[in-house]
Structure 1
Amino acid sequence: MIIFTLVFIAFLAGIVLQSLRRNENKIRRPPGPGNFCTSVLTFLRAFVHPSLGRYFTKLGKTYGPLTYVRLGPFKVILVNGTEALREVCKIPALNGRIDCMFKDIMGHQGILWTDNTSQNRKFFFRNTRHFGLGAASAENNIHEEITHLFKYFDSFGGKACSVKGAYNISTLNGIIHRFMGEKVSQDDPQLKSIVDRLHVLVEAPGIMKACIFVPSLTKWIPWSLSGRNFMEKVFRDGLDIAYPILQNRFKSRIPNQPRDLADALMDEVEETTDSNSIFHISKDPIRPLFFDMFTAAIETTIQTYTVSSETKLKSLEGSMAIGYHPPEFKVSFVRRC
């Protein structure tokens, strides 16, 4: 462990020396930390901060919707705010995805981890409303998951309980059901294990976070420490859940009569002859799209509860009341008659 730490420190020292010696062209860049030391500290703090979302948002409030940060050869432009993101995505040079470990593992496919998402976006826009991913048509499924969630909270008898991870099974089941017409048991130990490990990937402590966002570090850092082995195992276990359900589902599938998003995707795959298309059968398109939705659900729920804890949410409209218990975000749920 000491050897790896020394190697990492030497690597950072090399980056610092390169930054000091390198004469950059006078190119106009977005605002950001002005001097070299501040820029280095800003960059490195991202790897140890407990919430990247909160950290990037804070930088955006300080420097504006576009923030430029550099550490040696690693240059990052942070985009904050929906309006800024909408405008930036119109610029081809900035319309790609960051080169991260997720992108590499997913083979540059899917929606979240690919530079060219136009084909995927068209497919989803064409099919999601039809298969009930809109709020109104998914209402029954949502209410069913909420019923399970209420039973979980009722089990604490009104005592304070941590909400970390409490919502994720329900959220994932809602997405899995819309995607392939089936759901996984709330008590499924394999699904619970995957959710717990996805929490680790989203929050990504220390060296793992550095390797995720600067994947070239894995050339020097063993995969066992970088988190790559851990990440690939999570994805494989997720497929172990999804593929048996899909295979059983596809036995009764009728071509061009889709019942769900997975059926529609298979129709798209069978009709695609262009080997360069992301929907060509050689690309195995179900795998990256499934995990895009899977990881997005986990990340969204984690960030939602983080924001809720910061704003000290006091009440939830409807059938429950919430109390806030610092320093850890815990809630007390009491049924309203």
Structure 2
Amino acid sequence: MEISSTLLLVGFVVGLLVVVRWKSNRRRLPLPPGPLALPVLGNLFMLNKHAPFKSFLEWSKKYGPVMTVYLGPQRVVVLVGYDAVKEALVDQADDFVGRAQIAFLHRVVRGYGLVISNGDRWRQLRRFTLMTLRDFGMGRKRIETWIQEEIKHLQNSLRETKSAPFDPAFVLSRAVSNVICALVFGQRFRYEDNELLRLLQIISEILRFGSNPWGQVYNIFPWLMKHLPGRHQTLLRETDTLRGFIMEKIKAHEESLDPDHPRDFIDCFLIRMKQEKNNPETEFHYDNMVSTVLNLFLAGTETTSTTLRYALMLLIKYPHIQDQMQKEIETVIGGERSPVMQDRKALPFTDAVIHEVQRYLDLVPLSLPHCATHSFSFRGFAIPEGTVIIPLLHSVLKEEGMWDSPWTFNPNNFLDANGNFKNNPAFLPFSAGKRSCVGESLARMELFMFIVTLLQHFNFSCPGGPDSVDPTPELSSFGNLPRMYQLIASPR
């Protein structure tokens, strides 16, 4: 008995020494290096406020692919290059799975929903969202039919322009929005619907605000911006219009719900809420439903429609690429049959162009920031709990070691010597790992089917010709937003 007690005591002391030594070693791990920061302001005085990712890329040349910067008082670890980003988000995924609380987005969704959640809330909502969207056809034949039907409405809208110049922004966003609306609300909206147009304008302004310097200031100093007048105050009030629209749709769904025949995402969420109404720890409650639907409506509309708008801009800028795509499409599909996703393998050049549009646009250069929900180490550096983490997708999509011509628009980045499509592991416009975009498969389908169908039926140009097109972004921060332009859609 005495021997057992002694062994137990020795084991306890040894274990305690191991824990103390482990914690001591962790404390000795340095933070990643980075530029000298000022109190309160951090590195803001050094930052390119119009394109902060350019500053991060420049600093990484001195401090390496894992570095510490301070955005105001907030410590931020920036990951630069494919190797560092992949190692973090994929190889060490559990440590990097946290999402930072983006102040403006947090205010819009009231702290609920899928995108900014962490822990069990995030796991439950992500699993449910992926499963439900797939059940309703995301990535499958069913959604192909919906997209094909929506493209017909878009074609009619373009023909009504009678080859006159027009701003394509809201024409495209209405079509793309209707695809996500079919999944979430179980309906599409008429292009003449003024309520839909107003909602799309608000969504566009949210993205624009997040991509200008004032949006950066709001996210860094929300406690200050909360008390200052400005466009952000008006925009926050307008986001309540979005919430009100979604709440009305939910109410209508509650009144007509048939638990045995769910029609869409909202129905499925309502059914799950009823199933878990007696579970005090459930994440399936009204606030999470409203904000998750808002997440899907926002992300499913603006990102894909912006990419489409940029794709048409680049096809105007490079008419020989537009011609080559049309010839390939004509050979494989013809001019009448609607494309399906199976056609993509037989359209390597077209597929390469679509991938190159996404790579070159670099829509979300900073990615959505992650957060260390616990302290851990990465590449020999300490990452303390609460640290914001930016996987710099810009550095991956434009990395010189990963692309033959990273700084020019060149579909050959995705073609081999025989003209066959070749993938590239550094193609990460949807991010990677456990926090990758839940709508990636839907976005890929939409981009392919919209672009192929439009090129079957229209030639695209602009009043000033190819030389008048400026593909450099108008705004570059949270998002790279293309400049506005006038589109001419001439029936073929």
Instruction: Name the TM-score, length of structure 2 as normaliser.
Output: 0.53
Provide the rounded CA distance (Å) in 2 between the counterparts of 1:154 and 1:163: 13
Provide the rounded CA distance (Å) in 2 between the counterparts of 1:58 and 1:168: 32
Contact kept in structure 1, 2:113 and 2:287, CA below 8 Å: no
1:13 aligned residue:
none
Q: Please give the secondary structure, in 2, of the residue aligned with 1:169.
A: helix
Provide the rounded CA distance (Å) in 2 between the counterparts of 1:85 and 1:302: 30
Specify whether residues 96 and 244 from structure 1 end up closer, same or farther in structure 2 by C-alpha distance, changes over 3 A only.
closer
1:12 aligned residue:
none
Specify whether residues 89 and 138 from structure 1 end up closer, same or farther in structure 2 by C-alpha distance, changes over 3 A only.
farther
Provide the rounded CA distance (Å) in 1 between the counterparts of 2:224 and 2:144: 45
Tell me the number of residue pairs that the alignment of Structure 1 and Structure 2 aligns.
299
Instruction: Return the letter of the residue paired with 2:257.
Output: R
Q: Which has the larger radius of gyration?
A: 2
Superposed displacement of residue 57, structure 1: 7.5
Instruction: Return the letter of the residue paired with 2:200.
Output: V
Specify whether residues 172 and 321 from structure 1 end up closer, same or farther in structure 2 by C-alpha distance, changes over 3 A only.
same
Matched, 1:277 2:282: yes
RMSD value, Cα = 3.4
Provide the rounded CA distance (Å) in 2 between the counterparts of 1:36 and 1:140: 54
Matched, 1:130 2:268: no
1:326 aligned residue:
469
Specify whether residues 247 and 66 from structure 1 end up closer, same or farther in structure 2 by C-alpha distance, changes over 3 A only.
same
The structure, 1 or 2, with the larger RCO (C-alpha pairs under 8 Å, 6+ apart) is 2
Counterparts of 1:112-131 in structure 2 under 5 Å?
112-116=115-119, 117-131=122-136
Matched, 1:56 2:53: yes
Provide the rounded CA distance (Å) in 1 between the counterparts of 2:59 and 2:318: 25
Superposed displacement of residue 88, structure 1: 7.7
Indicate the percent of aligned positions where both proteins have the same amino acid.
17
Q: Which runs of 5+ in 1 are unaligned?
A: 1-24, 50-54
2:113 aligned residue:
110
Deviates more, 1:105-114 or 1:312-321: 312-321
Matched, 1:191 2:196: yes
Provide the rounded CA distance (Å) in 2 between the counterparts of 1:60 and 1:170: 36
1:286 aligned residue:
289
Matched, 1:201 2:198: no
Deviations 1:264-314 (A, max 9, x none): 1111111123333321x3x52221011101111244136515753468464
Matched, 1:216 2:213: no
Deviations 1:181-217 (A, max 9, x none): 1222221112211211221110114424421454233
Deviations 1:12-60 (A, max 9, x none): xxxxxxxxxxxxx98644565x3559943454x34x44xxxxx538845
Contact kept in structure 1, 2:68 and 2:77, CA below 8 Å: yes
Contact kept in structure 2, 1:96 and 1:114, CA below 8 Å: yes
Provide the rounded CA distance (Å) in 1 between the counterparts of 2:55 and 2:310: 13
Provide the rounded CA distance (Å) in 2 between the counterparts of 1:112 and 1:79: 21
Q: Please give the secondary structure, in 2, of the residue aligned with 1:322.
A: strand
Superposed displacement of residue 71, structure 1: 3.5
Provide the rounded CA distance (Å) in 1 between the counterparts of 2:171 and 2:487: 11
Q: Which runs of 5+ in 2 are unaligned?
A: 1-26, 323-450, 471-482
Contact kept in structure 2, 1:313 and 1:322, CA below 8 Å: no
Provide the rounded CA distance (Å) in 1 between the counterparts of 2:314 and 2:59: 19
Contact kept in structure 2, 1:178 and 1:261, CA below 8 Å: yes
Q: Please give the secondary structure, in 2, of the residue aligned with 1:171.
A: helix
Counterparts of 1:29-108 in structure 2 under 5 Å?
29-30=31-32, 34-36=35-37, 39-43=43-47, 45-46=48-49, 48-49=50-51, 56=53, 59-60=56-57, 63=60, 66=66, 68-79=68-79, 83=86, 86-87=89-90, 90-92=93-95, 95-108=98-111
Instruction: Return the letter of the residue paired with 1:326.
Output: V
Matched, 1:259 2:267: no
Contact kept in structure 1, 2:43 and 2:70, CA below 8 Å: yes
Instruction: Return the letter of the residue paired with 2:487.
Output: V
Instruction: Name the TM-score, length of structure 1 as normaliser.
Output: 0.74
Provide the rounded CA distance (Å) in 1 between the counterparts of 2:137 and 2:77: 36
Contact kept in structure 2, 1:89 and 1:95, CA below 8 Å: no
Contact kept in structure 1, 2:176 and 2:305, CA below 8 Å: no
Superposed displacement of residue 229, structure 1: 4.3
2:241 aligned residue:
237
Specify whether residues 252 and 164 from structure 1 end up closer, same or farther in structure 2 by C-alpha distance, changes over 3 A only.
closer
